[in-house]
Amino acid sequence: MASNTQNTSGPVLQRGTKEYEAAIRNFFNSEPTGRFPAEVHSVRSTLDVANAMERARDLGVPVGVKSGGHLPSKPSLIDNGILIELNNLNRGVEYDPASGVVSFGPAVRVHEAWKATDAVGRFFPFGHAPDVALGGFCLAGGQGFFMRGWGATITDWIIQLEIVVPSGKVVIASRTQNQDLFWAARGGGQAFFGVVTRLWSRTIPKKTLYGRSFVFNVGNNFDTLLNFAFDRNEQMPKSFTETAVCLLHPELFDAKSTDEPIPESSPLQLFIQLTAYADTLPEAKKLLAVWDDVPEMIKSLSVDTKPTAEITWNEFFQLQSFMNPKAPDQNWGIHSILNDPKVPRDKLLEAIKPALCDLPSRSSYGVIYMADTVDLDETDAVFSIPQKYYISTFSGWKNPELRAPIRAAMRQSYAKAFTVACGMYIADFDPSPDTTHPQTMPVWTDSAREKFMRIREKWDPQGIFPGYKAFIH
């Protein structure tokens, strides 16, 4: 029985032990939540997962699930609930050369997936941040590499899931088995009502990663620079290419800088990172050729330009880690929107400018990931909000006294950004009481939400997984 913790192969961690404390602190965001699970089940098998759910039913408490701990709001930490920690479950990548399909556990990190698939000459869009776990990444939808041409990872690449459902039964979900579960899991994110224990993805033969970049001083030219970036992105071939724009202050890259306020003399800079996936350098240059034509006025704002060249995956991941450091005292907030594609560009730029430019600390930065994925099939997955541009601010601080003013600044800037949004990425939805975004901001279409709730009621009538409650309006 699950109430007898000795029957589990993975340890059950009790509050007050150093192992428990380490488990609830092992998150990307170091900010404390004040929420303490009754127990942490560090599972190693599907039986462990089923036992943890039975234990939750015996205690009459809800369940939270953690695959990597990269969500700043830490929704897996439920006060007096059961935390199912997946770090040691199926922590490996397996490749089937006959089918070209790769399978992996939910806690496998992005950089681990890259190493394993690269070693067998294959690739699938596993995401950009190296320490993100693939379980949370995929269930949220998966804004993976080259999404603008390939679609989201969860809709266009993941073909099968192994899930422990609330009853404790282990099932397979796909487009032909338990289709309703497969539909609800893909984009269900923190609201999903089961534990995904293994995922299967199709792959393609690997190519080589190439990059090109620009750095500009923004000054009073935010609109001009963004129009340039948007125009060139629209002219660029969709397949095997992507565009990311970051707005930041140079102090972000100064490892010796410890002052959190941004110096008044510090220029705001706009960084355009272009990526191409190609077999040869000439092919990559052709894919990114539209960026060769830079107007003289834009050139006058240039700080640095790097031509198209091969970049290693380690180099790419190192940059991501530098911008998103995990440290014992590093706190993070992520605030974001998905823009309404029907809103004219001039109104979009006016609305998002404060969120991207009025950065509250030196470790904060704004991001536009040009996903260019708007024609989503709601009948295929709950992942249903158009993803033209993902616009976000990563706000960072170490001094606890800065939490309130930084959150207030983000609340003010995103109040304006929300006016041009059609929704937000579910991974960024913060269900905490002092959230900095409206609880009415949708993560799915209304019809998809209604369908999701019907499926949830079928599989989890007792509500053992309470994450869905954050999305009931």
* Reduced 3-state DSSP string for 377-405: CCCCCCCCCCEEEEEEEEEEECCHHHHHH
User: Minimum mean pLDDT among 221-225, 286-290, 374-378: which range?
Assistant: 374-378
Specify the pLDDT at position 468.
Answer: 94
User: Minimum mean pLDDT among 158-167, 235-244, 403-412: which range?
Assistant: 403-412
What is the overall mean pLDDT for the chain?
93
Q: What is the CATH number of domain 208-428?
A: 3.40.462.20
Percent of all residues in the chain with a pLDDT value above 90, rounded to a whole number? 83
Specify the pLDDT at position 255.
Answer: 66
CATH topology for 5-85 is 3.30.43
Q: Which residues contact 60 (CB under 8 A, 6 or more apart)?
A: none
**Of residues 232 and 396, which shows the higher confidence score?**
232
- Band (pLDDT 50/70/90 cuts) for residue 186 is very high
- Band (pLDDT 50/70/90 cuts) for residue 6 is very low
Specify the pLDDT at position 138.
Answer: 96
Specify the pLDDT at position 205.
Answer: 98
Q: What is the pairing mode between strands 39-42 and 82-85?
A: parallel
> Quick check: 3 pLDDT over 60?
no
Domain 93-205 has CATH 1.20.58.220: no
Q: Where are the domains of the chain?
A: 5-85, 93-205, 208-428
- Judged on CB neighbours under 10 Å (0-12, 13-18, 19+), 435 is middle
End-to-end CA distance of the chain: 38
Specify the pLDDT at position 106.
Answer: 98
> Quick check: 253 pLDDT over 80?
no
Over residues 201-220, the pLDDT tens digits come to 999 999 999 999 999 999 99
- What is the spatial distance between Cα 384 and Cα 73, in angstroms, rounded to a whole number? 22
Specify the pLDDT at position 77.
Answer: 95
Taken in order 8, 11, 15, 17, the sign of the CA dihedral is positive
**Of residues 414 and 6, which shows the higher confidence score?**
414
- What is the spatial distance between Cα 8 and Cα 454, in angstroms, rounded to a whole number? 32
- Band (pLDDT 50/70/90 cuts) for residue 7 is very low
- Quick count: other Cβ atoms within 10 Å of Cβ 14? 12
Specify the pLDDT at position 435.
Answer: 59
> Quick check: 320 pLDDT over 90?
no
Spell out the alpha helix ranges (H) of 324-439: 345-357, 403-417
Spell out the alpha helix ranges (H) of 7-108: 18-25, 46-59
pTM of the predicted structure, to 2 decimals: 0.94
Specify the pLDDT at position 4.
Answer: 36
For residue 400, give both structure tokens: 């606890």
Tell me what the mean pLDDT of segment 47-61 comes to. Answer: 96
